[in-house]
């Protein structure tokens, strides 16, 4: 079940349940007997990156259930750390095991789709599923440890309080219709509100810096309704260390055409011949950026790097998220 971005907290008495928007990886957890499967928002398996969560779920004394939640990792000082979470997406199993022991992940549950015993309750309204989830959490998950039940409230005053406090372990709030069923892919029953506008973009190319052959800026792309990847702007402001580490990785992904729709433009009075040169990349990397204005199919100014999103599939980076933020989706 997916959410659309809106600019204001919906306030219709008795219609909404509000929750913090946790700063982690969205994850569906499936248990079938002793088998456990963790699925990311993009449909990718996550078990190898979070073995401690798999082990905990195997210990749950209930067969055949499906819960929805967020995987998070606490950082120094107790706040959740997305950087620590990103370190788990590592090819070396030994590294993953080390990190899972040093900084074990927490699974924050906020919905239940299949109740223990294999009973599909996705057609129940959210209010009914929440009651089932609370009972399941208290009886089955809480005694094991490493699980957390997401806060929830139906009064908008609490939602606004959470929104004002976003930034330490959350990045906004969620609002979900109390009477809605769990409908995969549906966006009208669940919305997200963030303090800043962000977008997940495909890195379709890059430019080298003007003084040395290291990455200078990332060229960003979004897919349109026809499935074409269009250039929508650039992201600079990367640290010197990040540029050095990123350069060989991007050089290994160089492959034409990079963008299949509109591509970076040619020279103008503001650019030099060198600054228009760019390297096309295979569309594999996703980056989250924040932005202020979007006009004529592009970010008006350079965007600010927020974080890498290995949990998102490039195909999920569509122009729709910009339209939603601008209020053009009816």
H/E element, 129: helix 126-136
Matching residue, tokens 């034409």: 256
Q: Quote the strand ranges of the chain, DSSP E.
A: 4-5, 16-22, 25-32, 35-40, 65-72, 106-115, 119-120, 147-149, 170-177, 190-193, 198-208, 215-223, 229-236, 279-280, 286-290, 294-295, 298-299, 303-308
Strand partners, 65: 31
21 is catalytic: yes
Mapping DSSP to helix (H, G, I), strand (E, B) and coil, where does residue 155 land?
A: coil
CA atoms within 13 A on the CB side of 167: 6
Q: Three-class SS of residue 199?
A: strand
Angle formed by the axes of helices 51-59 and 93-102, nearest 10°: 60
How far apart, in whole angstroms, are the C-alpha atoms of residue 263 and residue 258?
8
User: Could you say which of 21, 176, 194, 312 is catalytic?
Assistant: 21
Please check whether residue 39 is in contact with residue 30, taking contact to mean a CB–CB distance below 8 angstroms.
yes
| DSSP letter string, 37-74 | EEEETTS-B-GGG-HHHHHHHHHSS--SEEEEEEEE-B
CA 144 to chain centre: 27
CA distances from 299 to 207, 213, 223 (A): 17, 26, 14
Distance CA 185, CA 3 (A): 8
Tokens 């760019």 belong to: 278
Q: Give the residue numbers marked as catalytic.
A: 21
């Amino acid at each position: 079940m997916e959410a659309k971005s809106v600019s204001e907290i919906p306030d219709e008495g008795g219609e909404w349940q509000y929750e913090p928007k946790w700063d982690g990886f969205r994850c569906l957890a499936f248990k079938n007997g002793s088998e456990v499967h963790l699925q990311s928002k993009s449909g990718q398996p996550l078990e190898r990156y979070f073995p401690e969560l798999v082990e905990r779920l195997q210990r749950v004394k209930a067969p055949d259930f499906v819960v929805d939640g967020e995987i998070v990792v606490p950082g120094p000082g107790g706040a959740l750390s997305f950087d620590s979470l990103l370190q788990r997406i590592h090819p070396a199993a030994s590294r993953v095991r080390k990190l899972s022991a040093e900084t074990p992940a927490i699974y924050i549950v906020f919905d239940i789709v299949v109740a223990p015993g294999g009973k599909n309750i996705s057609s129940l309204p959210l209010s009914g599923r929440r009651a089932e989830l609370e009972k399941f959490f208290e009886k089955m998950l809480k005694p094991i440890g490493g699980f957390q039940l997401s806060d929830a409230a139906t009064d908008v005053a609490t939602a606004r309080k959470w929104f004002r406090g976003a930034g330490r372990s959350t990045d906004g709030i969620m609002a979900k219709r109390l009477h809605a069923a769990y409908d995969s892919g549906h966006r009208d029953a669940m919305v997200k509100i963030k303090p800043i506008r962000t977008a997940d973009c495909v890195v379709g190319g890059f430019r080298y810096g003007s003084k040395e052959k290291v990455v200078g800026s990332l060229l960003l792309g979004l897919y349109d309704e026809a499935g074409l990847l269009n250039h929508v702007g650039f992201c600079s402001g990367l640290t010197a260390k990040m540029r050095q580490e990123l350069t060989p990785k991007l050089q290994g992904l160089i492959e034409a055409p990079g963008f299949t729709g509109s591509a970076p433009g040619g020279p103008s009075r503001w650019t030099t011949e060198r600054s228009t040169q760019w390297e096309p990349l295979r569309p594999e990397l996703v980056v989250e950026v924040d932005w202020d204005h979007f006009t004529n199919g592009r970010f008006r100014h350079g965007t600010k790097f927020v974080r890498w999103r290995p949990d998102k599939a490039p195909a999920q980076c569509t122009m729709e998220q910009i339209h939603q933020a601008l209020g053009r989706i009816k």
